[in-house]
Amino acid sequence: MKIKWVFLSIILTIATVLTGCEPLLVLDPKGPQAQIQADDIMLSIWIMLFIVIVVFAMLAFMLIKYRASKQDKDYEPPHIEGSFIVEALCIGIPVIIVVFLSIMSVKSNYEVEATPKGYEDKEPLVVYASSSDWKWHFSYPEENIETVNYLYIPTDRALEFKLYSYGPITSFWIPQLGGQKYAMSDMVTTLHLAADVPGEYMGRNANFSGKGTAENVFDVKAMPPAEFEEWVDEVKATAKPLTEDKFEELLEPGHLGRSTYTGTHLEFSPPPSSENGGHDHGSNKSQAEDEEHADHDKSSEKHSEHDNH
């Protein structure tokens, strides 16, 4: 009787606690990239749940069917050969599951690394997101403004983040808009996102980068395009210009509140020289630049030979 009441108390406690929980941010997507990842997570969960249920059902069946029974002391069980069907199922089903999840993951990776679906024909808003101990700097080159520790973005427009760091490796992550991506000091990485729904979201550094990591967060506000343009005009009319001395002061280790400036640090403190820090990772741009340099070198050699003759 006591065990019954203890069991019921545990169930009631768990149910009460869960009613006060907010939904996981990664399972509450507000953009196309986050929706893809949330669908993949839920599909993986359902597949794993099905496997667990089947395994426990088979375990219960085996325990009941082949449990110990009263037999004579000289009883010998019949000789049973291995079953090809059972072995094929034990090997084939896990292989099929792994292949399916692998194909799904590769397909999703290509989708989240590209411009969000539905935004291919729209010019993306480019934002340079750089980190320092322990803050985030957001440069809007198109609008010629810069913010610290907060990010305003328009809805219904593709976002192209150029990520790099002025300190240790960090990880740029807005859970409700998409997955995280690393920001490093010697290369620029690109992250494509989009916000379908206006609202306020949480962003943070998802990588440990020292004692101030826990507070290395930033606020994100998605708003209609017209409201975003109004904010840009207000910043240009009221914010102070960002000077090189002020930016050097912002880079000092520590925590700061939100601040806004006209101009960006890209003019006097540009990001790493090129995409991927000058390394060719298969991009068409890098290949075209290499071919252009090669043609230029060949042309120079021909002119040199002509002059010698």
Determine the 3-state secondary structure of 123 from DSSP: coil
Question: What are the pLDDT digits (tens) for 196-206?
Answer: 999 999 999 99
Residue 58 maps to a domain: no
Question: What are the pLDDT digits (tens) for 92-108?
Answer: 999 999 999 999 999 99
Structural domain span for residue 192: 125-277
Task: Kindly state the DSSP code that residue 73 receives in the 8-state scheme.
Answer: T
The domain that holds 155 is classified in CATH as 2.60.40.420
| Predicted local confidence at residue 75, as pLDDT | 80
Q: What percent of the chain has pLDDT over 70?
A: 81
Q: What percent of the chain has pLDDT over 90?
A: 64
Residue 21 maps to a domain: no
Residue 97 maps to a domain: no
- Name the band, by pLDDT with cuts 50, 70 and 90, for residue 291: very low
Sheet of 145-148: strand order equals 189-194, 158-165, 125-132, 135-140, 145-148, 259-262, 240-241
Number of structural domains found in the chain: 1
Beta strand 240-241 with 259-262 is: parallel
- Name the band, by pLDDT with cuts 50, 70 and 90, for residue 7: low
| Predicted local confidence at residue 59, as pLDDT | 92
Question: What are the pLDDT digits (tens) for 210-245?
Answer: 898 898 999 999 999 999 999 999 999 999 999 999
Average pLDDT, the chain: 84
In 3D space, the residue among 276, 295, 12, 170 whose CA is nearest the CA of residue 284 turns out to be 276
Is the model's pLDDT at 305 over the cut of 50? no
On the 0-12 / 13-18 / 19+ scale of CB atoms within 10 A, 274 is middle
